[in-house]
Chain A
């Protein structure tokens, strides 16, 4: 497949936004049970939500560049019964709205207590909004991942690992950003976020490498024999029927060498996993200035990771477009 930068930015940016929100609410939940120091004043959660919103809106804007007819985008919410893309179109704005309300509730310190847990922890409006937002964040990861995982023809994507990796990689980048943000806004949370970021990053590394190994062993289900229905071991296309290229030759081929693909793979393994893990470890041991660098490197690495994710997928339609003559 040809990696489309609109989709690369959409999936990586909203992944960061979701992860950052999950990080914020995780900290709030810990604080609720007195496992972490409570944050005085509205600034940490409110500004954190604002940063998450920036990433989510950035992803939303990027998604419009993928559409041929963006003015009709509202129609894409109608087929939620069958289409994961349609479900994402519904969940993304719902999540953005919830993050906005969560941030506003913190900013205005609108915290009416709705219930009290037996332990004495007060469930206020921000906790309820945060819980709804958490559900929506995971729903959004599921939708984004399933858009790719549900396409059974693209066997590199048709695996639960696709969804798992969207959750883990998005979560890791969000927690890393939360750590970098906490270094500025709430230094007492910095180690908490950096620690979780490192754990999720390592889990994400395991998931991504598992996907790489799985895809390496894939044998194509479709062959030239099944494509044209002729049983002969040697079938070669003489012509695809045209010379100047078509949508089918542009959308499904990246036209890059295997060597470049391999370089990108090592680049993202280093950029999205190895280097940020080292920087996070440095941040954990007290050097907070590395945390921002960890996020920047990781985000660039994730762009490479997503590029590779698309380029790696081999569409069976390519069997019909092998020879220009």
Chain B
């Protein structure tokens, strides 16, 4: 079983919104039709996006930390949005675990968005159907692209490599290593949805120095200083060795 997913490193994300922009660009020009915006140049521009980057402030001034938090469909392994769909438009692919919406079957009842605790489904007000992240399913299997290009648009766009893409069920994949070794975690584990996308936590790199590392180990008298100068009459190296 394959479960494709994104692993997002919150330690690296700088909140530049490049993934948001590239996601929109790729998917609005894709075969599934445009993701139309309303009032794009007006007072309250709004539209459908698959991916959003949010910013949270953790802690109280002055001990605060700014956390940029990209959020797209997490492609849950037990997706609550799928069984509630009355038409079967919402489905999870067996072969790679991607949760998709069949735009030709969706009736736009929005019930699936109620059943998603993460708020990652967005209704397209122009096409009147529900949309969501496809993990760039029209990209990652495109044989005309090079292997490097066959990755989701957001992953390709990230300038800091905060986004990893791969199969989390393959224990040797890059994403599995990252989850295992860098403490990857899931969002809202309390609902048992088992999201496939994982997040890597913020990490602080601290220099840990022990007391005894500051002191010379071979200094039994606890006196640090220059060694006593040998007397003029003492034999020197020149006396015992020929250079």
Instruction: Provide the residues of chain A in CB contact with B85, threshold 8 Å.
Output: 79, 83
Instruction: Provide the residues of chain B in CB contact with A69, threshold 8 Å.
Output: 106-108, 128-129
Smallest CB–CB gap between B191 and chain A, Å?
Answer: 7
Docked Cα-Cα span, A236 to B55, in Å, equals 9
Smallest CB–CB gap between A52 and chain B, Å?
Answer: 25
Docked Cα-Cα span, A72 to B108, in Å, equals 9
A257 touches B (CB below 8 Å) = no
Contact B185 A237 (CB under 8 A): no
Instruction: Provide the residues of chain B in CB contact with A235, threshold 8 Å.
Output: 56-58
A227 touches B (CB below 8 Å) = yes
Q: Identify the stretch in B46-54, B170-178, B203-211, B219-227 within 8 Å (CB) of chain A at 4 or more residues.
A: B46-54
Contact B56 A317 (CB under 8 A): no
Contact B54 A320 (CB under 8 A): yes
Instruction: Provide the residues of chain B in CB contact with A230, threshold 8 Å.
Output: 56, 58, 67, 201-202
Instruction: Provide the residues of chain B in CB contact with A252, threshold 8 Å.
Output: 119
Contact A248 B20 (CB under 8 A): no
Contact B190 A83 (CB under 8 A): no
The residues in A between 148 and 162 inclusive whose CB is less than 8 angstroms from any CB of B are: 150-154
With beta carbons under 8 angstroms apart, the residue of B88, B105, B115 that contacts A153 is: B115
Given that A152-B191, A235-B58, A251-B113 are known contacts, is A320 also in contact with B71, CB under 8 Å in the complex?
Answer: yes
Contact B59 A221 (CB under 8 A): no
Docked Cα-Cα span, A241 to B55, in Å, equals 7
Question: Number of A interface residues, CB 8 Å?
Answer: 57
Nearest to B119 among chain A residues (CB) is A317
A195 touches B (CB below 8 Å) = no
* Binary CB contact string for chain B from 66 to 81 against chain A (1 if under 8 A, 0 otherwise): 1101010000000010
Contact A153 B80 (CB under 8 A): yes
Docked Cα-Cα span, A151 to B84, in Å, equals 9
Contact A153 B117 (CB under 8 A): yes
The residues in A between 194 and 232 inclusive whose CB is less than 8 angstroms from any CB of B are: 221-222, 224, 226-230, 232
Docked Cα-Cα span, A150 to B112, in Å, equals 12
Given that A76-B107, A241-B54, A320-B71 are known contacts, is A246 also in contact with B117, CB under 8 Å in the complex?
Answer: no
A239 touches B (CB below 8 Å) = yes
The residues in A between 296 and 325 inclusive whose CB is less than 8 angstroms from any CB of B are: 315-318, 320-321
B111 touches A (CB below 8 Å) = yes
Docked Cα-Cα span, A1 to B122, in Å, equals 15
Contact B54 A247 (CB under 8 A): no
Contact B87 A84 (CB under 8 A): no
Docked Cα-Cα span, A111 to B71, in Å, equals 63
Instruction: Provide the residues of chain A in CB contact with B113, threshold 8 Å.
Output: 247, 251
Docked Cα-Cα span, A237 to B68, in Å, equals 10
* Binary CB contact string for chain B from 32 to 60 against chain A (1 if under 8 A, 0 otherwise): 00000001000111111100111111111
Smallest CB–CB gap between A270 and chain B, Å?
Answer: 29
Docked Cα-Cα span, A243 to B49, in Å, equals 13
Docked Cα-Cα span, A243 to B45, in Å, equals 8
Contact A228 B48 (CB under 8 A): no
Docked Cα-Cα span, A69 to B60, in Å, equals 47
Instruction: Provide the residues of chain A in CB contact with B39, threshold 8 Å.
Output: 244
Smallest CB–CB gap between A186 and chain B, Å?
Answer: 39
Contact B58 A68 (CB under 8 A): no
Contact B109 A240 (CB under 8 A): no
Given that A72-B105, A238-B66, A244-B44 are known contacts, is A79 also in contact with B87, CB under 8 Å in the complex?
Answer: yes
Docked Cα-Cα span, A252 to B116, in Å, equals 12
Instruction: Provide the residues of chain B in CB contact with A316, threshold 8 Å.
Output: 117, 188, 191
Given that A78-B88, A226-B189, A241-B52 are known contacts, is A246 also in contact with B46, CB under 8 Å in the complex?
Answer: yes
Contact A247 B123 (CB under 8 A): yes
Smallest CB–CB gap between A81 and chain B, Å?
Answer: 9
A234 touches B (CB below 8 Å) = yes
Nearest to A248 among chain B residues (CB) is B119
Instruction: Provide the residues of chain B in CB contact with A66, threshold 8 Å.
Output: 109-110
Docked Cα-Cα span, A234 to B63, in Å, equals 11
Smallest CB–CB gap between B6 and chain A, Å?
Answer: 14
A67 touches B (CB below 8 Å) = yes
Contact B54 A239 (CB under 8 A): yes
* Binary CB contact string for chain B from 184 to 201 against chain A (1 if under 8 A, 0 otherwise): 011111110000000101
Given A84-B84, A153-B80: 19 more A-B contacts, CB < 8 Å:
A69-B107, A69-B108, A72-B87, A72-B105, A75-B88, A79-B86, A82-B83, A82-B84, A83-B84, A83-B86, A151-B115, A227-B188, A228-B56, A238-B66, A242-B49, A246-B52, A315-B114, A318-B119, A321-B119
* Leading 4 A-B pairs by shortest Cβ distance: A68-B108, A317-B119, A68-B128, A76-B86
23 residue pairs A–B, Cβ–Cβ below 8 Å: A68-B129, A69-B107, A72-B106, A75-B87, A77-B86, A78-B86, A82-B83, A150-B84, A153-B117, A221-B190, A228-B187, A235-B56, A237-B55, A238-B55, A239-B55, A240-B52, A241-B17, A242-B52, A246-B122, A247-B122, A315-B119, A320-B71, A320-B118
